[in-house]
Structure 1
Amino acid sequence: MGKIVGYLRVSTDKQDVDGQRLQILDAANAAGLTVAEFQAFEVSSRRSLDERGITALLASVAPGDMIIVAELSRLGRSLVQVVGIVDQILTAGVGLWSIKEGIRLAGELDIAGKTIVTMFGLMAEIERDLISQRTKAGLAAARAKGAQLGAPKGARWSKLDQHEEEIRGYLAKGVSVASIAKILGVSRSTMHGHCQRRGWL
């Protein structure tokens, strides 16, 4: 077992952060593990992965290390964010232990781990579908009221045009621009520019 790192999500409630720390320490001690360090970052839907410290967290660990969180929801503000971050952690060969859910995954996924990650992916897909459905319903209501929708007249075509409803749904859900860019396979700057041209930011 390599280095053990505790991940804390910072909030305005200091007791909440202290509670996360105690949960992680208690679980690690019970398992005979020693937490080498804690890293505390703010999780915000308006911040990129770099700003939320996820990139720094991944840079501080190596294959064989393990990240412990009090619960999976501490990793992100939405299921889509959480799934993306879990995938990055495991792809880096780093283990992940979520205490509340009782999920402990090695960096090299076994069958059980792959099953759990697949389930996360399916849940994220369901969330995307629900967002899309709510967005379509909202657009239909807006059209009924005579609102002008879509790109401004004369705007250039973008490969993201076909994903506009999905993007608007993510933004309404509070998903960060960087996370949406990762989901759709484009750069953050491309996504940010697209959203700005549409007047969504």
Structure 2
Amino acid sequence: MIYGYIRVSTDKQTVENQRYEVVEFCKQKEIFVDKWIEETISGTIDLNNRRLGKLIKRMKSGDILICTELSRLGRNLLMIMSILNDCMRRDIRIWTIKDNFRLGDDISSKVLAFAFGLAAEIERNLISQRTKEALARKKAEGVILGRPKGSKSSKKKLTGKEKQIMEMLEAGISYSAIARYMKVHRLTVSSFVKEQNLYVK
């Protein structure tokens, strides 16, 4: 059996991009996905409480799990390594597209799995640190973050915060996190980004 696995951490993230990448990959390899598994959940959630965990438990030797990248499996190195180790032990194959990773029972697979997982975790930590430093710098400069309590006007709620929102987007902060910080609904942030064309290039 060949399984296509798609995970997004919030309901606003589209699954279509991941599905498209997997479908195109399968076309190139002339293979077909027998079953799709999709879930909207953080990769930090315990594997036993995710559809992925239930899937891996019922997969058999020779089955293949295809996803876009290793970070779809989990959001920290130990979780990713635990999943890969279990799959190697049971002869379950994991293929990722962006990482071009092919899990096998050989030393190169184990080394690559460790390297990719470590790199993904380091990148997330760096983004988190840059975000905290950027926000701390803004506060030190006297920039008022978020919408003042009780303020109402004919302007958009986020008018005047374009630069700040752009910096947060570049730092990798999600719409939901920005919304919480700005004390508005995430859809307000999403609409404002579209209207002002604040997408990260």
TM-score, scaled relative to structure 1: 0.53
Q: 1:46 to 1:78 in 2, by over 3 A?
A: closer
* Counterparts of residues 1-201 of structure 1 (less than 5 Å): 3-13=1-11, 16-44=14-42, 47-106=45-104, 109-117=105-113, 119=115, 123=118
2:91 partner SS:
coil
Query: What SS class does the counterpart of residue 25 from structure 1 fall into?
Result: helix
CA-based RMSD: 2.8
Structure number with the bigger relative contact order (C-alpha 8 A, sep ≥ 6) is 1
Tell me how far apart the structure 2 counterparts of residues 41 and 93 of structure 1 sit (CA, whole Å).
24
Paired amino acid for 1:82: I
Aligned AA for 2:109? Answer: G
Equivalenced residue count is 123
What is the CA distance between 1:46 and its match in structure 2?
Answer: 5.8
Aligned amino acid, residue 89 of structure 1: C
Aligned partner of 1:138 in structure 2 is none
Q: Is the 8 A contact 1:42 1:53 kept in 2?
A: no
Q: Cα gap change, 1:16/1:97 in structure 2, threshold over 3 Å: closer, same or farther?
A: same
Unaligned runs of 5+ in 2: 126-201
Change beyond 3 A, Cα 1:42–1:81: farther
How far apart are the structure 2 equivalents of 1:97 and 1:16? 21
Partner SS, residue 101 of structure 1: coil
Per-residue deviation at 1:115? 3.1
CA distance 1:117–1:11, change in 2 (3 Å): closer
Whole-angstrom CA distance in 2 between matches of 1:111 and 1:58: 22
Q: What is the identity, as a one-letter code, of the residue corresponding to 1:76? A: G
Deviation of 1:57 after TM superposition, in Å, equals 1.1
Contiguous gaps of at least 5 residues in structure 1: 131-201
Distance 2:30 2:93 in 1: 16
Distance 2:9 2:42 in 1: 10
1:120 deviates by: 5.6
TM-score calculated relative to the size of structure 2: 0.53
- CA gap of 1:33–1:114, structure 2 versus 1, over 3 A, is same
Amino acid in the other structure paired with 1:81: M
Structure exhibiting the larger radius of gyration computed from Cα positions = 2
